[in-house]
Structure 1
Amino acid sequence: MSQAVAFVEVDWAGRMVRIEHQWIAPERKSTPLIVFLHEGLGSLAMWRDFPQRLCDAVGCRGLVYSRPGYGRSTPRAADEAWGLDFMHQQAHEVLPAFLRAVGIDPVAQPPWLLGHSDGASITLLYAAQFPQALAGAIVLAPHILVENLSVTSIEKARTAYLETDLRQRLAKYHDDPDSAFWGWNNIWLHPPFRAWSIEAEIEAIRCPLLAVQGLDDEYGTLEQIHGIARRVPHTELLELSDCGHSPHRDQADRLIATASAFITQQTGDKP
């Protein structure tokens, strides 16, 4: 069962930030650990029951958290803008600091990472930077470069935030919805960000990798996961029909079946 939501403080670039997190089935002490990384507008709560369902299917532990700026974690200051390297900072600085703060030594007991969208890109960057500190990775709707489709959809999201009830709906999941939305939206629509790419960096990935994309994803094309497979040839791909940008919502059963089999295959017959 999941524990109650808890908080831990970490030092990020010289300032303390509070990170909301929740353990799933921590009593399964000898089993693999899956750490879940949410999308650009996501949070711990927005995963709903997917982490619990996947951990139960695998028979393992889970850890879900909200990045700074999201959920109940420390909001982004009103005058703080994410930089072009914001996902690198999350992968190289925040995630390692968070793991240390909750008592995880990723070298001694390498976790699995499962990331969605921006969280998937952060997962890829962590996997490339810390190959000795990761058992494997699953990425849902990852970004390795900026596509016109992504920018067009993010522009539509800006209009929706300003003109519809999107802000009110996000307020259910974020203490400061403006922190979450504008941090994400402003950097993705910042003209220099069009040149953002992690295509070369991910070639360093050595861990088992499953890359998943919905065929109806409004934020990215199949080039994202095909590009990963070209650069990381051992990648396994899952293309889901009748599926948009959130495979864990649109095709949860099929995703859980494939992901649990992938993890079990890598860890052996027993968790």
Structure 2
Amino acid sequence: MAQLPSIQRVFLESIVSSSDPEGRFIEVNGIQTFYKLAIPQIHQQLLQNQRLIPNEPNKPVILLLHHILGNQYTWRYHLQPLADATGCHVIAYDRPTFGFTERPTEWENGKNPYTQEASVEFALQLVFNLGYTEKKIAFVGVSSGAAISSFVAIKYPHLVHSLCLLGASLTPEDQGPPPVGRHILGSAPGRLFLKAALYRYLPLTSLYHDTNSIPDWETVVKPNYRVPLTFPNFYESLSWLMKYFVPLEVLPNKEYLARVPILYITGDDDRYLHVDRHKEIFDDIASVAPQNAILEYKVLNNCGHLPQDEKPQEVLDSIVNFLFRVGI
């Protein structure tokens, strides 16, 4: 007898079908995962005319990874424009715990989906499950998404085309709360605190230079960050994410990271990680880079920790120009 889908899955599918018809689901490591796929307009036209899409073996697939407490909505200005500008297929997805992706309440021994190591493997498996097993991946990651992207490049360099790191959180102290904070947030009282604080304060205005510069902040942006907080098992899964959070060792492996083309973008008013610290981290990576390495560093004016939200056009232009320079 076939197993019935969980109530959580049915609920998420019903919400998406009525509110976001462009979104899709795919199962990754047993988790129903919400994602969006953008293909170049020219390819869409060929499909509509029932013609074959040209084979472009040298083009990577672009994967966008959001930050903690974010979701794929943060790439709203980049998904289709990146596909059209580069000719690549572009994927954005909700990482486990966030957005419309399922939040497991139990798992097999050794297969905890809420660890950072699991996040690395999950990103790759998503790409493979979507059929891009023969493609290299151009990663675009913001904050903790940049740490996951970087660790893929360290662990699986043969799979990585390039890295675009936005407001990157690459040191242990910057990837998440300190161990004591994670212990508290991973406890029952910590879960109550999260419930009391997040819906009121998310999205965190301290991560931005000026929220007034973001169109539809009150009417559209806030709801798209807050609504997923009301979905089943959100606070439980966030508590587990904090409980099992062990920062990825990115900078101790910087000599491997520096072999991959890197575009490092930060805002001049990043209050989560000061711009001077970003420069130190970039210089640290560059110090061990091979002579022919392609490493670029860019500071955006009047911008905070989430450049893709606050300076979407500048980020888009920078990524497209960089990808063409590294041979997309």
Provide closer, same or farther for how the CA distance between residues 220 and 186 of structure 1 changes in structure 2, counting only shifts above 3 A: farther
Q: Which structure shows the higher helix fraction?
A: 2
**Residue 132 (structure 2) aligns with:** 104
Name which one, 1 or 2, has greater alpha-carbon Rg.
2
Measure, in 2, the Cα distance between the counterparts of 1:208 and 1:262: 9
Give me the whole-angstrom Cα distance separating, in 2, the residues matched to 1:252 and 1:218: 19
How many residue pairs match? The answer is 251
- 8 Å Cα contact 2:62-2:138 kept in structure 1: yes
Moved more, 56-65 or 34-43: 56-65
1:1-271 aligned within 5 A: 4-11=22-29, 16-25=30-39, 27=43, 30=56, 31-77=59-105, 86-91=115-120, 93-105=121-133, 108-147=134-173, 151=177, 162-163=196-197, 165-166=200-201, 169=223, 170-173=225-228, 175-176=231-232, 177-179=234-236, 181-183=238-240, 197-205=249-257, 206-222=259-275, 223-232=277-286, 233=289, 234=293, 235-267=295-327
- Which stretch of the first structure deviates more once superposed, 160-169 or 251-260? 160-169
Gap regions ≥5 residues in structure 1: none
Distance in 1, Cα, partners of 2:102 & 2:33: 7
Give the secondary structure class of the aligned counterpart of 2:302. coil
CA contact (8 A) 2:24 2:35 kept: yes
Q: Is the 8 A contact 1:58 1:260 kept in 2?
A: yes
- SS of residue paired to 1:200: helix
Equivalent AA in structure 1 for residue 69 of structure 2: L
After superposition, the CA RMSD in angstroms is 3.4
> Closer, same or farther in 2 for the Cα pair 1:57/1:253, shift >3 Å?
same
For residues 8-53 of structure 1, the C-alpha deviation after alignment (integer angstroms, 9 at most, x for no partner) is 1122xxxx11111111016375344211011111112232222223
Q: Secondary structure at the match of 2:165?
A: strand
For residues 106-133 of structure 1, the C-alpha deviation after alignment (integer angstroms, 9 at most, x for no partner) is: xx32121101111110000001111111
TM (norm. structure 1) is: 0.77
Please give the alpha-carbon distance, in whole angstroms, between the structure 2 residues aligned to 1:100 and 1:255.
27
Q: TM-score, normalised by structure 2?
A: 0.65
Q: Please list every run of 5 or more consecutive structure 2 residues that lacks an aligned counterpart in the other structure.
A: 1-19, 45-52, 203-221
Q: Percent identity?
A: 19
Give the direction of change, closer, same or farther, for the CA distance of 1:203–1:53 in structure 2 (3 Å limit). Answer: same
Give the direction of change, closer, same or farther, for the CA distance of 1:246–1:74 in structure 2 (3 Å limit).
same
1:129-160 per-position Cα deviation (integer Å, ceiling 9, x unaligned): 111111111011111214489759x99x9978
